[in-house]
Structure formats: C-alpha cells, structure tokens
C-alpha cells in the first residue's frame, strides 16, 4: 500500500498516494486530483512535475549524480564507448560481445542514405542551419521505411529502426556540413567504428583520406556518451509528448531535434563559444562579463552556467573539462578561448550571485571547447549534441509506448476575458 499525503482545502480533505522511486525520491500522485476536487496543479516549466516513472536515467542535482540504467556516467566515460552506452540506454543492459557486434554491425549497415534522399540536400540553401536539415531529413528518411512507422514495433523492428536512426543521423550531419561548404559527399567507410567513421565522412577528401587520431576519436566518444540521455529534459519531454500521440519513432526524434535547437537547451554550446569569441574580440575582462551577467537589466546570461536540476555541479561538465585539458595538452593546442573560459569559471564560482543561486558550469560550458579542438565547426555543435542524444530520445519513445501512457494533454488556468459579444466589423472601433 502506498503512503498517503493529505491535501486540505476549504474544509475538504483528500488523501493522495505517495510513491517512492528506487532512489528514495517521493512523488504525490495527483492523477485523481481533478476528479476528486475539481482543481488542477499549476507548475509552469514543470519544475515540480513528474511526468513519468522511468527506468532509463537517474539524476540527483543536489549531489551531482548522473546514472544511465544504474551506471555512473563517470564510470561509463572511463571504461566504455558511445555505441556500448547507446545499447545500454536503448535496451536496458550492457551488451555482451555478440550483442555488441551485432549492434555495431547494424550501425555500419545502415550508414548510407537512400540515393533519392541525397537529392533533398540540394533543396536547402547553402547557409541552411544544420539543425533544420537534420530534423527535416529525419522526417524525410521515415518516408523510405514505411514498415517502421508503426508504434507497435516488435523487438526486431525497434532494433532496425533505432540503429537506422542512430547511424543515419551521423551521415546526415556530415552531409549537411559538406554540402554547406561545397565539399563533395564522402561515403562511409565500413572498416571504421562509429566515431571514426563520422570523422571520416566529415573531413576526408576524395584525394586525401582523413587520418583519425585516437585521441580525437576517444574525445568524440566521450562527448557523445555524456550527452546520451538526461531524463525528462526539454527535448526528451518533447519526444515523449509527440510519441504519446502515437507518432512514429522518426518524427518523434525529429521533434526532439527541434526542441534541442534552442539556446536555452542544446543551442547553449554554440552560445558559449560565441560569448567567448566576443569577449576575446572586444578584449572584455572576465570581471566585466560577470558584472553584466548579474545585472538583470542587461538581459545577458553567462552561457554554459546554471541548470534546472544540477545545483551543486554537473558531472558531465567535470568529465568534459578533463577531456578538454587532455586533448589540448596531447594535441598541443593553445586556444585563448579556453583561457577566457577558465578565468570566467574561476571568477563566477567565487561570486556571491552565482554561489547564492547555485549556478555552476553545465555540460555546455566545456563541450564547445572540446568540439573546437577536434575540428568541428561552430554551426555543427548542436547537431553533435543531437547525435549523442539520439539513444535517450529513442529509449524515451519506447518506454512511453511500453507503459501505454495516455496522450499528454496538460490543463491550464484560463486568465482571459470571460465572455464577449461579437461586434460586426463595421461597428468596431
């Protein structure tokens, strides 16, 4: 029997079930609230709303803990690779050797796009934002797989659909980059692993094969891996909302891409670099930037700082910061933007404003610097986040359908005019 919470209002008292998660988090079940009281809850931004019971990812923002299917992200980043973690997130367990080989094989099998799909790229202007291309191309890809558009995919079809998406996002991303730079398309090399193959499709030329540096390959693996899921964030919630209408996997993931695009979500990694570039160009001091971030009138925020959930530190930021230090050292890169980032971080972490509001560097603060070091252009940063986040989006799509969740349909408190009488246009002022 669940424990009860009591809600009392205007002499009426009702009992509500309280559920406890495996990590001892408590939630009041309000699914019967409206039926019993006529009231709804109000929580714009959903900061206090549990939208699902989920087995995929655990985040403890106070303690800075992130676990995928029970494994700490730090441990996965140290010992695992993106493809293995993608399997873990999608299927709930780390793959054994056979499962891993089969999964990797499917990823390589599905890399290429249907030749007709390649023509779609020509329809975009040269300066089309790669996030727009990615979401449009995901929906276009769906047209070539009508057998995978069902929401009742059996295990085999889910494996096929998810490996197609995970594999093809990489190809679409690389093609959009090459298209916007006027470079010829480079086809996948089936000898290469997931990240190496992506780098090859991005940077090889017909006359010169790109040599994949293992340091760069490892850094990219870690970049994708730390982004693989983050429970009910804006884009995952978008995917869940879309899939609750029983939309197919391709279009639900495309919706996730659109949600990720915004600067307050995945777009923040780009904004961080733009901010660092402008500080460098305009020779601003770290102190001046911190002062501006604290000034509400300026509307400026220190990009890459703050998080809705993490109120202590973001474990992903720590992993990426370590990677940045390693990659810059091994590849002997010196980047003034890294120095600016470090001095901003140092100042902010000592500043009362940031301490009081528990604002720490988030995943985006160092991710852009890592991508810069491995040669990814700025306009591709959010697409890189999207590639990494695909396993999470697809696992959420599946989980929602497995739980047979009702269509998502929040309520509202209407604050508009109560009633008006229609006035013909001739009589209106």
**Footprint on this chain of ligand COA (rule: CB under 6 A):** 264, 268, 293, 301-308, 357, 359, 362-364
Phi-psi region of 297 (alpha: psi -120 to 50; beta: other; left: phi over 0): alpha
- Beta carbon nearer to ligand COA, 69 or 307: 307
385 CB-near residues (< 8 Å, 6+ apart): 227, 260, 266, 269, 367
Nearest-angstrom CA–CA distance, 425 and 429: 9
Compare residues 87 and 365 and give the one whose CB is closer to ligand COA: 365
* Beta carbon of residue 394, minimum distance to ligand COA (angstroms, whole number): 20
Nearest CA to 321 among 297, 293, 349?
A: 349
Q: Which helix (H) or strand (E) holds 71?
A: strand 71-72
> Residue-wise over 1-13: b if at least 16 C-beta within 10 A, else e?
eeeeeeeeeeeee
Among residues 110, 200, 307, 396, which one is catalytic? 307
In angstroms, give the least distance from the CB of 407 to ligand COA. Answer: 26
Q: Are 290 and 357 in contact (CB under 8 A)?
A: no
- Residues of 43-72 as b/e, b for ≥16 C-beta within 10 angstroms? eeeeeeebbbebebbbbbbeebbbbbbebe
Question: Out of 229, 314, 351, 364, which one is annotated catalytic?
Answer: 364
In Å, what is the CA distance from 288 to each residue of 233, 277, 293, 356, 401?
A: 32, 15, 9, 19, 50
Going from the C-alpha of 376 to that of each of 59, 203, 340, the distances in angstroms are: 29, 9, 20
Instruction: State the maximum Cα–Cα separation within the chain, in Å, rounded to a whole number.
Output: 80
Nearest-CB residue for ligand COA: 306
136 or 341: CB nearest ligand COA: 341
Active site includes 364? yes
Nearest distance, CB of residue 230 and ligand COA, angstroms: 8
For the CB of residue 265, give the shortest distance to ligand COA in the complex, in Å.
Answer: 6
User: Of the two residues 168 and 321, which places its CB atom closer to ligand COA in the complex?
Assistant: 321
Using DSSP's 3-state secondary structure scheme, residue 191 falls into coil
Task: Give the nearer residue to ligand COA in terms of CB position, either 95 or 306.
Answer: 306
Cβ 25 to ligand COA shortest distance, Å: 18
307 is catalytic: yes
Return the number of the residue (168 or 307) whose C-beta is nearest ligand COA. Answer: 307
Three-state DSSP class for 199?
helix
Min CB(235)–ligand COA separation in Å: 11
- Chain centroid to CA 147: 27
Q: In the complex with ligand COA, which residue's Cβ is closer, 196 or 380?
A: 380
Q: Which residues are catalytic?
A: 307, 364
């Amino acid at each position: 029997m669940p424990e009860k919470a009591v809600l009392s209002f205007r002499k009426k008292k009702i009992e509500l079930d309280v559920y406890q998660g495996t990590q001892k988090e408590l939630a009041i079940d309000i699914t019967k609230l409206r039926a019993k009281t006529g009231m709804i809850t109000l929580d714009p931004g959903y900061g206090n709303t549990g939208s699902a019971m989920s087995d995929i990812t655990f985040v403890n923002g106070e303690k800075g803990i992130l676990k995928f299917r029970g494994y700490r992200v730090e441990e996965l980043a140290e010992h695992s690779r993106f493809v293995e973690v993608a399997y873990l997130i999608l299927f709930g367990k780390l793959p054994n050797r056979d499962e891993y080989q089969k999964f990797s094989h499917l990823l390589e099998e599905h890399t290429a796009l249907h030749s007709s799909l390649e023509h779609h790229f020509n329809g975009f202007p040269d300066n089309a934002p790669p996030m727009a291309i990615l979401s449009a191309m995901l929906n276009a890809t769906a047209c070539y797989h009508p057998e995978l558009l069902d929401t009742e995919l059996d295990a085999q079809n889910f494996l096929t659909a998810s490996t197609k998406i995970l594999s093809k996002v990489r190809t679409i991303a690389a093609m959009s980059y090459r298209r916007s730079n006027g470079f010829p398309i480079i086809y996948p090399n089936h000898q290469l692993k997931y990240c190496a193959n992506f780098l090859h499709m991005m940077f090889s030329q017909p006359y010169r094969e790109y040599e994949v540096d293992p340091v760069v390959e490892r850094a990219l693996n870690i970049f994708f891996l730390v982004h693989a899921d983050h429970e009910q964030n804006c884009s995952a919630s978008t995917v869940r909302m879309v899939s609750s209408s029983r939309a197919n996997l391709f279009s639900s993931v495309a919706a996730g891409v659109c949600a990720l695009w915004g600067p307050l979500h995945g777009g923040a990694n780009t904004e961080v670099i733009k901010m660092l570039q402008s500080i460098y160009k305009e020779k601003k001091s770290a102190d001046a930037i911190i002062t501006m971030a604290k000034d509400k009138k300026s509307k400026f925020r220190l990009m890459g700082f703050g998080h809705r959930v993490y109120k202590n530190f973001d474990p992903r930021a720590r992993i990426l910061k370590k990677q940045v230090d390693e990659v810059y050292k091994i590849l002997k890169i010196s980047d003034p933007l890294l120095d600016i980032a470090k001095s901003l971080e140092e100042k902010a972490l000592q500043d009362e404003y940031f301490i009081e509001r528990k604002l720490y560097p988030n995943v985006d603060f160092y991710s852009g610097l890592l991508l810069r070091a491995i040669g990814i252009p700025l306009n591709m940063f959010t697409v890189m986040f999207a590639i990494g986040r695909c396993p999470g989006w697809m696992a959420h799509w599946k989980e929602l359908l497995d739980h047979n969740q009702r269509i998502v349909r929040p309520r509202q408190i209407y604050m508009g005019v109560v009633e008006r009488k229609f006035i013909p246009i001739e009589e209106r002022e």
